[in-house]
Amino acid sequence: MYLRHSVRRKDGKAHTYWRLVRSVRRNGKVVQETVAQLGELDAEGRAKAKTLAREITGRGEQRELFEEAGSAEATAKVRLDHIRVERGRSFGGVWLGWRLWQALRLDVLCEELLPRGREQVPWPVMAAVMVIARLCEPSSELHVAEDWYRRTALEDVLGLPADRVNDDRLYRALDRLLPHKEAIERHLVKRLGELFDLSYDLLLYDVTSTYFEGEAARNPLAQRGHSRDHRPDCKQVCIALVVTREGMPLGYEVFAGNRTDVTTVEEIVEAMESRYGMADRIWVMDRGMSSTENVSWLQETGRRYLIGTPKSELRRWSREIASSRDWRSVRDGVEAKLCPGPDGNETFLLCRSADRRAKERAMHERFSKRIEERLASLGRRLGRSRKRLDREAVGRQIGRMLAQNSRAAGRYQIRVEDDPTQAAGLRLVWSAKPEWDTWAQHSEGTYILRTNVSDWSSEELWRTYIQLTEAEAAFRIHKSDLSIRPIWHQKQERVEAHILVCFLGYVLWKTLEQWQRRAELGNSPRTVLEEIGRIQSTDVVLPLADEPGRELRIRCVVRPDKAQAMLLDRLGLRLPERLRLPPTCRRNVVPTRDPKCLKNLETNL
C-alpha cells in the first residue's frame, strides 16, 4: 500500500487531500483500489478523530488485558542462536471487533441479561465470539470452533482458551441469546443515538428473503415464496428490517417465507412503535408495501408516510406525465412534479430519471427484438409445416413466449387465423401498436410516490425516498459481507438466533462505518477490517543463557506498517505492545515482568 494525493482549490486556497491505495489484480489486470480517504491529514483532523475515538470507546487502553507498562531495569543473558518466534495469530481484526463490541456496551448488557451460572464459559463471552466471528470471517459455528478461533488472538483478548470453544457451546449460546432480542434492540437504539446523535424521525422499511439448505421440516417459518436470491427451489424466511436515514438499524422481524411484503406493514409499524413510542415519524417504503388497505390504515391512524406506487398507477396520471409543464429538476438527470391527490389528503410526486429512462428503453428494445424474432420464426414454421396444426397448441406457444418477455408483451397485437392455402391450416398475423410506443415514450423512466406530508418540497420528498437505498444496502451487507445466506440450521429458534447474530454483526459494521466516516476515512469497513486484520500477535521466545531449560516468553503485537499505523491514528486507536500470558504458559517460563529479566533486554540483543 502507498499514499496518493490530489490538490483541489477552494476559495483561492490549495488543499491537499490524501488517500491510502493498494494494488490488486482483477481479471488479469492490476488496478489501484482506495483503502481509505485520509482527508488533509492536518493536526486538527487527527485531534477530532482521537476525540471521537474516546467518545466511542468510553474507556482507556484496557490495561487489564495487557501487560502494564513497567520500568524494570534488570538484565538477562539470552542465547541469540536459539531465539525463535512462535504462535502467530491474527490480532488486529478481532481486537477492533472487540473494541466495537465494548463501544456499544454490549459486554455490559450481556452480563446483565445473561448472569453467570454454573457454566465453565460465561455466555456473554460466547456471544461476543459469535458476533466478532460474523464480522471478521463469516462462517458456520463448526468452522469457528474448529478452525477460526484458534487462528486468532481472540483467546488473548477475551481470556478464553481455544480448547473451551466448541460448536456445542456456540449452539447453546445462540439459544441463550435469542430470548433477549427486544432488550438488545432497545439498548442499541439508545447507545447508537448517544454515540452518533441519530435522529429517528425518519424510518426506512424494507423486506428481503434468505434461503435454507435442506428441508427445514421442523421450522414452520421455512416456506417457498418469492425468492430475492433466485433460489425458488429452496425454502426461505423473510426478514423485515427498519433502519434510520443513515442506515443504522432500529429493529427487525422474521416472517414465513411465503409472506407477501404488503401484509407485513401493520405488524412492523405497531411493533416498532410499541418498543419506541408513537413519535411523529415518517415511514418510507417501496412500492412492494403499497396497497389501498395499507394506505387507508396509515391515514386513519394519523401516521405519516412516503410510499412508492405500483406501475399501474402511471396510467392514472398519464395527462400530467405527458405534459411538459411544472417539472422541476431535483438532481442532475432527475425531474419531479407535485400533483395534489383527488381527495386532497395526499400529494403525488411524479418523478422521471434520464438514466432510468435509458435503462427501460434498452429493456423494451431487447424484449421487442426477442418477440419479433420468435414471431417470425413461428410464422416460418407454420408456412413450412406439412401437417395440420392445433390452434390451441400454437396459442400456448405464443403465450409462453410473451410471458418470457413480459416487458414488451403489450406492444403487440397477435392473431392466429385460418388459412386453407397452407398445410398447417393456420397463419400468424401480428403488428405493433403505435399507441403503446407513444405511451412508452412518455412513461419510460417515470415512477410515482405518494405521501401525506404536505409541507415538503419535491426535492425533499425525492431525496428522502432515495434514502431507501440505505435499507437495500443493509441487505446487501447482510448477504455478502456477513454471509447470512444460506441458512444451515433446521430449527426455528436456531434460525432466528442466527439472524440475530447477523444483525449484531451488522450493527458493529455500521458503527465502524460511522466511526471511519467521521474520522474522514471514507465508508468502506471491509477494507479497514482487512488492513487492520493483517496485524498479528506472536510469542518471542528467548532461551536464558544462565539457566538452561528456562526461557523468557514475551507475547507481542507486531508493529503496524506505515499504512496501518495511519489508519489507527485516524481512528484514534493505539495498539497494545504486549499481551498478558495466560497462567498455563507461565509454568516453565520466566515471568515477563520479573525485574531480573527485563533490564536493558533490548540493549543486550
For the ranges 99-103, 112-116, 590-594, which has the lowest average pLDDT? 590-594
Taking residues 340-369, report their average pLDDT: 92
What mean pLDDT do residues 103-123 have?
Answer: 92
Q: What is the DSSP string of 412-441?
A: EEEEEEE-TTSTTSEEEEEEE-HHHHHHHH
| Model pTM score | 0.82
For the cut 70, the answer to whether the pLDDT of residue 526 exceeds it is yes
pLDDT per residue over 83-105, tens digit each?
888 989 999 999 999 999 999 99
At 366-424, the pLDDT tens digits run: 999 999 999 999 999 988 888 888 889 999 999 999 999 999 999 999 999 998 888 88
Q: For 211-246, what is each residue's pLDDT tens digit?
A: 998 888 889 999 999 999 989 999 999 999 999 988
Fold of 202-346+452-490: Transposase Inhibitor Protein From Tn5; Chain A, domain 1 (3.90.350)
Q: Where are the domains of the chain?
A: 202-346+452-490, 356-443
User: For position 210, what pLDDT does the model report?
Assistant: 93
Which DSSP string corresponds to 476-515? HHHHTTS---SB---SHHHHHHHHHHHHHHHHHHHHHHHH
> Could you tell me which residues come within 8 angstroms of residue 395 by beta carbon, excluding any fewer than 6 positions away?
416
Here the cell at position 513 is: 462505518
Q: What is the pLDDT of residues 567-591, one digit of tens each?
A: 888 888 888 888 877 765 554 444 4
For residue 96, count other CB atoms closer than 10 A to its CB. Answer: 26
Distances (CA, A) of 303 to 19, 269, 279, 294, 298: 45, 10, 9, 11, 5
Number of CB atoms found within 10 A of residue 342's CB:
9
